[in-house]
Amino acid sequence: MLPLSLRTDLEIARRGYQRYAAYPLATAAGAFTNIIFGLMRGSVLLALFAERQRIGAYDAAATITYVWLTQGLLNIVAIWGWQELALRVRTGDIATDLIRPMHPIRALLAAEYGRATYQLVFRGIPPVAVGVVAFHAALPSDALVWLAFFASLVLAVAVSFAFRMLYNLAAFWTTDTRGTMILALVVMTIFSGFTIPIQFFPPWLAAIAYATPFPAMVQIPVDIFVAATAGPPVLVALAGQLAWALAMLAASYGLFALGTRRLVVQGG
Amino acid sequence: MADLSDLLALYRRLIAARLRAQLQYRTSFALDSTGMLLISFIDFLAILVIFANVPQLAGWTLPEVALLFAITGLTFAFTDLAIGHLDLFPQLIRDGNFDLLLIRPRGTLFQLLTADFQVRRLGKAIGALAVLAYALANLRIDWDPGRIAMLLLIVPTGVVIFASIWVATICIAFWSVDAREVSNAFTYGGQFLGQFPMNLYDRWLRRFLAYVVPIAFVAYFPALYILGKPDPIGLPEWLRFTSPLVALAAAFVASAVWRFGVRHYQSAGG
Q: Tell me the pLDDT tens digit for each residue of B194-214.
A: 999 999 999 988 988 888 899
**Chain A partners of B178 at a C-beta cutoff of 8 Å?**
23, 25-26, 29
Q: Quick one: pLDDT at residue A51?
A: 87
Q: Which runs of E-coded beta strand occur in B78-218? A: none
Q: Which of A134-148, A211-225, B94-108, B150-164 has the lowest mean pLDDT?
A: B94-108
Q: Tell me the pLDDT tens digit for each residue of A165-212.
A: 999 998 888 877 777 888 888 889 999 999 999 999 999 999 999 999
Flag whether pLDDT at A131 surpasses 90. yes
Is A61 touching B (CB cutoff 8 A)?
A: no
Q: Which of the residues A23, A44, A201 would you substitute to probe the B interface, choosing the one with the greatest number of B C-beta atoms within 10 Å?
A: A44
Q: Quick one: pLDDT at residue B268?
A: 63
Q: Tell me the pLDDT tens digit for each residue of B53-90.
A: 999 999 999 999 999 999 999 999 999 988 888 888 88
Q: Of the candidates A158, A173, A165, which has an alpha carbon nearest to the alpha carbon of residue A240? A: A158
**Chain B partners of A90 at a C-beta cutoff of 8 Å?**
none
The confidence band for B2, taking pLDDT boundaries of 50, 70 and 90, is: low
Phi/psi zone of residue B59: left (φ > 0), alpha (ψ -120 to 50 degrees), beta?
A: left
Q: Quick one: pLDDT at residue B128?
A: 92
Instruction: Flag if B50 and A180 touch (Cβ within 8 Å).
Output: no
Buried b (16+ CB within 10 A) or exposed e, A231-241: eeebeebbebb
Is A241 touching B (CB cutoff 8 A)?
A: no
Between CA B113 and CA B120 the distance in angstroms is 16
Instruction: Flag if B189 and A23 touch (Cβ within 8 Å).
Output: no
The mean predicted confidence, pLDDT, of chain B is 89
Average pLDDT over residues A124-142: 95
Q: Quick one: pLDDT at residue B7?
A: 85
CA distances from B151 to B79, B143, B144, B155, B225 (A): 17, 10, 11, 8, 10
Instruction: Give percent of chain B with pLDDT exceeding 70.
Output: 98
Q: List residues of chain B with CB under 8 Å from any CB of chain A.
A: 25, 27-28, 31-32, 34-36, 38-39, 42-43, 45-46, 49-50, 52-58, 176, 178-182, 184-185, 189, 192-193, 196, 200-202, 205, 209
Between CA B69 and CA B75 the distance in angstroms is 10
Between CA B235 and CA B246 the distance in angstroms is 16
Average pLDDT over residues B91-109: 84
Between CA B157 and CA B216 the distance in angstroms is 12
CB A206 within 8 A of CB A198: yes
Q: Tell me the pLDDT tens digit for each residue of A199-248.
A: 999 999 999 999 999 999 999 999 999 999 999 999 999 999 999 999 99
Contacts of A11 (CB under 8 A, 6+ apart): none
Is A210 touching B (CB cutoff 8 A)?
A: no
Between CA A21 and CA B130 the distance in angstroms is 43
Residue A58, strand partner residues? A55
Buried b (16+ CB within 10 A) or exposed e, B118-148: bbbbebbbbbbebbbebbbeeeeeeeeeebe
Flag whether pLDDT at B109 surpasses 80. yes
The confidence band for A5, taking pLDDT boundaries of 50, 70 and 90, is: confident
What DSSP assignment string belongs to B57-88? BTTB-HHHHHHHHHHHHHHHHHHHHHHGGGGG
In the chain, the amino acid numbered A3 is: P
The confidence band for A65, taking pLDDT boundaries of 50, 70 and 90, is: very high
The confidence band for B43, taking pLDDT boundaries of 50, 70 and 90, is: confident
Pairing relationship of beta strands A58-59 and A54-55 according to DSSP bridges:
antiparallel
pTM, to two decimals? 0.91
Q: Of the candidates A203, A206, A225, A202, which has an alpha carbon nearest to the alpha carbon of residue A215? A: A206
Q: Which of the residues A19, A37, A40, A119 would you substitute to probe the B interface, choosing the one with the greatest number of B C-beta atoms within 10 Å?
A: A40
Q: What is the dihedral of CA B198, B202, B207, B208, to 10 degrees?
A: -100
Average pLDDT over residues B17-25: 81
CB A127 within 8 A of CB A35: yes
Q: Quick one: pLDDT at residue B65?
A: 97
- ipTM attached to this prediction: 0.90
Average pLDDT over residues A37-43: 95
Q: Quick one: pLDDT at residue A267?
A: 62
Neighbour-count burial of B45, counting CB atoms closer than 10 A to its CB (0-12 exposed, 13-18 middle, 19+ buried) = middle
Longest dimension (CA), chain B: 61
CB B259 within 8 A of CB B168: no
Residue A55, strand partner residues? A58
Instruction: Flag if A33 and B189 touch (Cβ within 8 Å).
Output: yes
SS3 A177: coil
CB B186 within 8 A of CB A40: no
Q: Which of A17-26, B88-97, B157-166 has the lowest mean pLDDT?
A: B88-97
SS3 A55: strand
Flag whether pLDDT at B270 surpasses 50. no
Phi/psi zone of residue A55: left (φ > 0), alpha (ψ -120 to 50 degrees), beta?
A: beta
Between CA B48 and CA B195 the distance in angstroms is 13
- Sign, Cα dihedral of A36, A40, A45, A51: positive
Q: Tell me the pLDDT tens digit for each residue of B152-197.
A: 999 999 999 999 999 999 999 888 888 888 999 999 999 999 999 9
